[in-house]
Amino acid sequence: MISSPSSIPDPATDDATDAPARAHPTVRLKPRTEARAIRHGFPWVYADELVTDRRTQNLTPGSLAILEDGDRRVVGLVTINLKSKIVGRMLDRDADAVIDQAWFAARLQRALDLRARLYDAPFYRLVHAEADGLPGIVIDRFGDVAVVQPNAAWAELHLDALVAALMQVTGVTTVVKNGTGRSRTLEGMKEETTVVTGAITGPIPVPMNGATYMADVTGGQKTGLFYDQRPNHAFAASLAKGARVLDVFTHVGGFALAALANGAVSALAVDASAPALALAEQGAAASGFADCFTTRQGDAFDVLEAMGAEPDRFDVVICDPPAFAPGKNSLEAGLRAYERLARLASPLVAGGGYIVLCSCSHAADLQAFRSACARGIGRGGRKAQLLHTGFAGADHPMLPQLAESGYLKSLVFRLD
């Protein structure tokens, strides 16, 4: 059969058919960089893995680009920021994906479906960054209020579309942008906190584990409340009926309020922040625990040193510090701090009582953290049984390929 003229390929247009114009520039992995991990779900490209020619160096931080491997095969759509050690973050396996309100809405709906199945009230972490397909973005929900942490440059550039999709999918009426923290500094961004839409009139009451916590979503630490400890609060509270409780690094009431909700006879909450302790006291009053809740302000290590010379002992002692080892360069010092904390806290536990030691340092893996705690307890003159190992709640899912997404560890020991 003779082909008609219209069916004969035209050499002049054949290349355009095979290689259509792309909406974004192309960046490429170095020839010897293995793309298999990224194809299998690892979400990051490090600075030493990417070809950084002049064209790539001129890309605005947060720009979208199509990532190719060393053989020029397309890997997916990434965001690029050469100011960060993580120069590339995978957004979509589809290199032609359009990052608009509809794209954000699809990701947010998937995240919301999970949380709605887990919780009967809208108080939870709605988006946990890479694990929810939105790299560098954290969103905590407080009823009709959502706090967004755009911790990567691309999220800052697309904030309007993200907020519009967030309100569309969840129905929240107030959105706060919390632009603070170490992650933004590493991305080369300034710190700022603003109310994007709606209004905040004061701390927000948050029901959790039978207590009421007060979250300051505009001036408090991080988004105003740590939802990740919810299951660990509950486990520690299960040991606290009839107990005297000491909660060190309490923030806005943390473990102490959950313990009182489960029948603890008293709770002493320690924190360096006077505003956080004031919110903890408000939460205790709102929960009906004001008469059995007391606070003590001061540096945790100084307070523990002083309490060691005092007569009071407690049935349950909890230490939930900030990250002592936020990166590999601080790992050894961080492990020494965890060991010291266990050494100072364990003598304050009454015989047969319990100590709960927590770490939110992703650089300190579970084995290293557990070893540091065991050394500290031993140096504190106590023998221990390890009863329970806890992690972040299910609203903080892990991306299996990214160890950093499983940062939280909670160890519960029974002491002799």
Residue type, 309: A
Alpha helices in 245-330 (DSSP H): 254-261, 274-287, 300-308
Task: Dig out the tokens for 5 from the structure.
Answer: 């003229």
Pairwise CA distance, residues 90 & 97, whole Å: 12
Pairwise CA distance, residues 211 & 284, whole Å: 8
Specify the residue for token string 């040193």. Answer: 305
> 79 with 89: CB under 8 angstroms?
yes
Provide the angle, in degrees to the nearest 10, between the axes of the packed helices 230-238 and 254-261: 50
Task: Dig out the tokens for 109 from the structure.
Answer: 């709906």
> 115 with 124: CB under 8 angstroms?
yes
Neighbours of 371 (CB within 10 A): 14
Pairwise CA distance, residues 378 & 110, whole Å: 46
DSSP string computed for 113-148:
HHHHHH-SSSEEEEEEGGGGT-TTEEEEEETTEEEE
Helical (H) or strand (E) element with 371:
helix 366-379
Pairwise CA distance, residues 50 & 82, whole Å: 10
> 408 with 229: CB under 8 angstroms?
yes
Q: Nearest-CA neighbor of 135 among 328, 394, 365, 404?
A: 404
Q: Is the dihedral of CA 324, 327, 329, 331 positive or negative?
A: positive
- Which one from 319, 358, 360, 373 is the annotated catalytic residue? 360
358: annotated active-site residue: no
Neighbours of 346 (CB within 10 A): 26
| Catalytic residue IDs | 360
